[in-house]
Structure 1
Amino acid sequence: MQSYPEGAVALITGGASGIGAACSKLLSDNGVRTITADIAEGADERLDVTDPAAVGELRARIGKVDILINSAGIVGPSAPLVDVSLADWQRTFRINVEGTFLMCRAFVPGMAASGWGRIVNLASIAAKDGNPNQSAYSASKAAVIALTKSLGKEIATTGVLVNAVAPAAVESPMNAGTDPAILARSQSLTPMSRMGKSDEIAELIGWLSSTAVSYSTGAVYDASGGRATY
């Protein structure tokens, strides 16, 4: 079992399903009080991560958290860049990037004031490879990596660690509407020849959220079945 501070509280966006729900279960099983936030039914808190007022209201209502997992995200349009509408591009960035920014901005101060915290942002192998016909998703997840590296350096002496996980394609509701050809390409590039599972990604996130990690911040951890080359 992982080790977490006594009485630790974790906030997990996108926590109603997929990787977010798997993280909630893993942390709960290890004694952490979890709060899931999602626009979907079944979460503890109904939250649109792109709404600054809603994020601020949630922060005021639940107070400080010790662990923040930014799992809310969308795949966005699966089409050649020249066929992607500006509205679809912007929506992908609002959820994947601005949502992560707003959550970090709201909850980092409380963590830093207490002298301990763990933030794990969900990126993607697409941020490194650049998936064809997924320009908005690839670019937005690359932005999440850059945000993670920047914030990790900013607060490196506060006791708050900020890291990112970059999975390859995962069997989750987020990929339910993804073009099958894109998923097939991802699997063909993966030496393990299969998609990842949500609970496998949660294991890595759980470790990054624990007291076991103390000298890593602003880093990107791959969970790609061997696909990652750097």
Structure 2
Amino acid sequence: MSFGKKLLALFALLLSFAASAQRVAMSMPDHDDKKYYFGITFGLNYSVYQINYTEAFAATDTFKSIQPKWQPGFNLGLLANLKLTNFVDLRFVPSLAFAEKRLDYKYGIPKDSALSKGIEAIYMHLPLQLKFKSDRINNFRFYALIGGKFDYDLAANARSRRTDEFLKVSPVDYGYEVGVGFEFFNDTFIFSPEIKISQGMRNQLFQDHSLPLTNAIQTLLTRMIVISIHLEG
């Protein structure tokens, strides 16, 4: 096939794609004119503690190791979106996050033993985010987000008087979040899968020196990866 015929074939293919694109019916064509809208959200989370150890941990033989492990959980919540500009929204996503962080640790003294303990959490999760949107391409859009969060752990055991606690954590946390997502426009709603990283910045360790682990750990920070589905109106 000559170069001219190849060029004509390529041009015909491009025309075909253009015609197909024009035939795509725009769902919710007036949605971007809304000043605000609402939705619901649900998803999975994976959380872990980030640990900084004390000097006593390295200087003594009480513990051989203390290792945090990722654990799954789930989120349920609401969504409120306020349009700031054509490409920037302000978003508030209050939700409940059911999570667990696990610590695997080994004693060296008085005898070698390995234990694995989970710390359950029910976070009242209150993030405020800026959402940066791309141009809409037919019924599709990409976005990125950045923001801050405030978390309150309804299941925190900081004030617990139980004698079998191995570690105590504070209920209040705050930090930042970054993520990306996609919007798929349907006739009556927007389907938005999203993934974000939520990083806590406040030390979650409650100081109770009657617990051996408290003497080995200096700071506990929470990190969470959240994979969400938003249904927006």
Shorter-chain TM-score range: under 0.3
- Between Structure 1 and Structure 2, which shows a larger proportion of strand residues? 2
- Structure with bigger helix share is 1
State the TM-score, normalized to the length of structure 2: 0.25
Bigger radius of gyration, 1 or 2? 2
TM-score normalised by L of structure 1: 0.25
